[in-house]
Structure 1
Amino acid sequence: MQTKKQSTKSEVEGGLMARWGASLADWSERWFPDAYVFAAIAVVIICVAALLAGRTPSQISVDFGKSFWGLVPFTMQMAFVVISGYIVAVSKPVKRLVRYLALFPQTPKVAVTYVAFMAMVASLLSWGFSLIFAGILTREVSKRVKGIDYRAMGAAAYLGLGSVWALGLSSSAALLMATKGSIPPALYKISGTIPLQETLFTWQNLVMIVVLIVLSCWICYVSCPSAERAKTAEMAGIRYAEDTDDEVGTPQTPGEYLEYSPILTIPIVLLGLGYLYHVFSTQGGLAALDLNVYNFMFLILGMLLHWTPKAFLKAAAKSVPMVGSVLLQFPLYAGIFGVLMGSGLTDVLAHFFVSISTHDTLPVIVGIYSAVLGLFLPSGGGKWIVEAPYMLEAANQLHVNLGWIVQVYNAAEALPNFINPFWMLPLLGLTGAKARDLAGYSILQLMFHTPAVLIMLYLLAKTLPYIPPIMQ
């Protein structure tokens, strides 16, 4: 009898939590503007702060305009993270792999937990790949396992973006700091380059990845409703039909023959593989892996998996609309960076963080600040450009490991993604769900992730020594 009462109480609490999450999502969808508007608001706030710091309107305009195009290489690199990840995820071999992987889960709880695990593992390779891969996996698993709550499943598929993606190979902040040509000169003077051996490839980062994956899977398993209580995709009017969009047709004219043939794909792929072999053999695995090499690998893999130019270009065309916000927002972040540096606000903010922090508490304070700011500036790479100058300067002054500050930012940056619909859009398009459908279970994850992340940031920071900036 006691067990039954506890079970009923747990189900009621779960229902209340889901309703609370749905209410928050409804409110945010009604009142939160587009992410671009948040970036524009940030421009206004920084410019007002620069005026108060003594900068003239003319000087602010020059600072903004001179830096506006300063992140063009980085902007294109981030756009290609999305494009290349999408191209690989929708290729026929990957779709066949997904259909095979979808055969394993047999019950709703296991299916939701399984999708969550696969989404998080995929996000360690590429967050752009993870969203599409998990969306396709969700569709295939939902066809085979009956009684799955589509809200719990959608939130599970989104977990890669809300938990560990920034701790993996597509971490924009870590790859940026390892790529000298992408670091703005003013920031480079503060930090130098920070190799991946000091950010992604540390045992401390591995600990965070393992803990967060285990925690996320556990939450998915215990919170997933039973088949009797589930709201399925069919109940929501969502139907997952068989994907018939793989076919690219056949050439209709002699001029189209090369588009449908691998004759041109093969030499390009061989050239790419030759270059990658040269880079990794001469520079070593970790030293060679920067944003350019990372995107190059995914594009070459995409060409190989699609096999013909027609299939490759068809996938690329579908991915391009997903990068529009990146192309428009990142110049604004570059302008903000210019105003911050020109007005001296970076020194003011660095002094502020030093004044309220100690060597031990700076990682936690940076983590909280980054997570809160991420609610209003949902852009991992662009926001890092804004935060990095004063965060890393504060770390230098307090002798906190610079690589760990990058990872503090990465771990905290993922937290607001749980409730920010900006990054959900590609997944929502594949699953047919709405942002508010995912919010209840995402907020449940957030409640557990936030203290876990902050505790790990504090404890693991104690294991890392301060390393002065490396100037190359």
Structure 2
Amino acid sequence: MSIETAGGVPLKGIDVIPPKQTDDINQGALARMAYAFTQWAEKWFPDAFVFVIFAVIVVAIANFATGASPVAVAKGFGNGFWTIIPFTMQMAMVLITGYVLATSPFCTKLIDSLARVPKSSAGAVAWVAFVTMMASYLNYALSLVLGGLLCRALARRTDVRVDYRAAGAAAYLGIGATWALGLSSSAAMLQANPASLPKAISDITGIIPLSETIFLWNSIAMALVIMVMSVAIAYYSAPKGKHARTAEEMGCDVSAPSEVAERPTRPGEWPEFTPILPILVGILAAGWLVTEFMAKSPLQVIGNLNTYNFVLLMIGMLLHKNIHSFLKAVTKSVPTTAGVLLQFPFYGSVAIMLTSVPGSDGVTLAHHIADLFVSIANGETFPIVIGVYSAILGFFVPSGGGKWIIEAPYVMQAAKDLGVHMGWAVSTYNAAEALPNLINPFWMLPLLGVLGLKARDIVGFCVTQLVFHIPVVLFLLWILAPRAS
């Protein structure tokens, strides 16, 4: 095609690519890959609730294949349904407390400031990935809430057209890439805490300090490589131009919290609007927190999800300055918890069916899977073999601490027998456990509640990350593996 001058005379030798074709070329290979995966996911990926029902049925069939009786499978399903209710409520409170804190005037301005940092649509997606992965080193729950609210703040910008789906997927990278390599690692925290470590595990491993797990130089190097790779993928896979879909186009309300200050209309409402009550409660909360730090190690206090929720709730109340504003924020946050409250109990059933229902030989399905992987490992291949095992089982049982208690005895015994560095065995398990999170809606639910999206909206971008994460993570587990002394 040739350009014509104002007089209609063509300028030969100067080719112009049609606008549509130019837009497609500007996407780049990763962006086109993510776009293709997203189109597939939007058409074929089921709702998150259907996904967990599929998991229940697959595990039940696998139980029958090992010779488990129908009665035992049915009991496992029913008995497991309520087993993670405490964790379910913790995650619901993560959403509530995070929303309450983030909608306070102070935090709203802070998140809006973070949202003003990137200058391009792809840069915005990469920025979300960086912020959430950094947050996940401290606390995975913080990464979910902060990432979701940062996406909403970016979506409110009118000068940059940010793909809301890609940004949402980037906000999930704290859980899908790095969470278990930081202070949120349940397995590492458990192994380092003699008061919580079951005897069945301590007899095999002894106490493994954090300096031998998440603070081992090998683990730090692996975390840095994964983080740099993830940010780069987020940047280059972000859709541009006509392929980018904004929050408004997705039908999502990302409006900022109202800053209109309400006042009491009658004397009986005065207690709701005075700042005195939140301050008094805050003083009590500060006193309790001091006693926690005096009685426990700082890492143990920080890593406790109950403490995290408690502190966020108290700070949120103080930043809202009065009970009325605080309760209004809580009320608005409750709908975001629906997916967690409904679906997490089914995952509890899946976990029990995997780990507690015996087959005809008296051995559970999880133990059969572990035996298979451990039997084919040696000192050199152990990190890769256990990494694949952890990723597969993590797809059905997405739970850090509870799953580790069940699996650690035979995983760590195998590591000990094969002369594998015990701390690296824990890091291997952690790094691989994050992989299935990229496509498992379990951990997506809290984030999706904040974003107002469906799992199918972001999973295409997550699959793009997974395509690179699997070979790179497994290679790092092998190449960085230290030898036991």
1:358 aligns with 2:371: no
| Pairs within 5 Å for 1:126-165 | 126-142=139-155, 143-165=157-179
- Mapped partners of 1:277, 1:155: distance in 2: 37
Q: Distance in 2 between matches of 1:395 and 1:353?
A: 12
* Residues 29-53 of structure 1, C-alpha deviations (whole Å, 9 max, x = no match): 249863542553366256436646x
Question: 1:329 maps to which residue?
Answer: 347
Shift of 1:117: 1.3
TM-superposition CA deviations, 1:298-346 (whole Å, max 9, x none):
4443443344344444444525435313355336535643336993446
Partner of 2:108: 95
Residue 293 (structure 2) pairs with residue 275 (structure 1): no
Distance verdict in 2 for CA 1:206–1:236, change over 3 Å = same
Cα offset, 1:77, TM superposition: 4.8
Contact 1:102 1:140 in 2 (8 A): yes
How far 1:113 sits from its partner (Å)? 1.8
Residue aligning to 2:64: 48
Q: Which residue of 1 aligns with 2:362?
A: 343
Which amino acid letter does the alignment assign opposite residue 38 of structure 2?
Answer: A
- State the 1:21 CA deviation: 0.6
- Letter of the structure 1 residue corresponding to residue 471 of structure 2: P
Aligned to 1:124: 137
1:192-224 deviations in whole A, cap 9, x for unaligned?
Answer: 765544433333332222212211222233333
Cα distance, 1:411 vs. partner? 1.7
Over the matched positions of the two proteins, sequence identity in percent amounts to 41
Unmatched tracts of structure 1, length 5 or more: 467-472
For 2:357, give the aligned amino acid.
Answer: V
| 1:240–1:356 CA distance, 2 compared to 1 (3 A) | same
Match of 1:21 among 37, 50, 66: 37
Distance 2:281 2:469 in 1: 43
CA contact (8 A) 2:168 2:451 kept: yes
Q: What amino acid is aligned across from residue 330 of structure 1 in structure 2?
A: G
Conserved? CA contact 1:78–1:326, under 8 Å: no
Return the offset for 1:357: 0.6
Give secondary structure in 2 for the equivalent of 1:136.
helix
State the shift of 1:163 in Å. Answer: 1.5
After TM superposition, the structure 1 stretch with the greater mean CA deviation from structure 2, 323-332 or 58-67, is 58-67
1:223 aligns with 2:240: no
Aligned to 1:452: 472
| Structure 1 residue identity aligned to 2:412 | L
Asked if structure 2 preserves the Cα contact closer than 8 Å seen for 1:350 and 1:393, the reply is no
How far off its partner does 1:61 sit? 7.8
Cα separation, 2, equivalents of 1:197 and 1:82: 32
The structure-2 alpha-carbon separation of the partners of 1:32 and 1:298, relative to structure 1 and needing over 3 Å to count, comes to: closer
User: RMSD of the alignment, in Å?
Assistant: 4.2
| Alignment partners' CA distance in 1, 2:199 and 2:253 | 49
Which residue identity lines up with residue 129 of structure 1 in the other structure? L
Q: Which amino acid aligns with 2:218?
A: Q
Pair 1:10–1:461, CA change in 2 (3 A): farther
Equivalences for 1:62-461 in 2 at 5 Å?
77=90, 80-142=93-155, 143-175=157-189, 196-226=210-240, 228-233=241-246, 236=249, 238=251, 242-244=255-257, 249-251=262-264, 254-291=267-304, 292-317=306-331, 318-319=333-334, 320-324=337-341, 325-327=343-345, 329-330=347-348, 333-334=351-352, 336-339=354-357, 343-345=362-364, 349-380=369-400, 383-384=403-404, 387-431=407-451, 433-461=453-481
Does the aligned pair in 1 maintain the 2:213–2:427 contact within 8 Å?
A: yes
- Shift, 1:177, TM fit: 5.1
**8 Å contact 2:351–2:396 — kept in the other structure?**
no
TM-score (norm 2): 0.77
Q: Name the structure 2 match of 1:470.
A: none
| Pair 354,242 (structure 1): closer, same or farther in 2 beyond 3 Å | closer
**Structure-1 separation of matches of 2:179 and 2:153:** 23
**Greater Cα shift, 198-207 or 63-72:** 63-72
Say which SS state the counterpart of residue 357 (structure 2) adopts: helix
Q: Give 1:264 shift.
A: 3.2
SS of aligned partner of 1:323: helix
Alpha-carbon distance between aligned partners in 2 of 1:390 and 1:247, rounded to the nearest angstrom: 58
Q: CA deviation at 1:433?
A: 4.7
Q: Distance in 1 between matches of 2:91 and 2:255?
A: 32
User: Which amino acid is the alignment partner of residue 206 of structure 1?
Assistant: I
Task: Work out the CA distance in 1 between the residues paired with 2:348 and 2:443.
Answer: 15
Following the alignment from structure 1 to structure 2, what is the Cα–Cα distance between the partners of residues 88 and 402? 39
Kindly indicate whether the alpha-carbon contact (under 8 Å) linking 1:197 and 1:286 is maintained by their aligned counterparts in 2.
Answer: no
The farther-off stretch of 170-179 and 14-23 is: 170-179
Deviations 1:82-141 (A, max 9, x none): 544444334332221011122222222322222221222223333333233223222322
Q: Retained in 2: the 8 A contact 1:122–1:160? A: yes
Bigger Rg over Cα: 2
* Equivalent pair of 1:127/1:170 in contact (CA under 8 Å): yes
Which amino acid in the other structure matches residue 343 of structure 1?
G
Moved more, 41-50 or 360-369: 41-50
Q: In 2, are the aligned partners of 1:178 and 1:195 still within 8 Å (CA)?
A: yes
Between the two proteins, the alignment pairs up a number of residues equal to 459
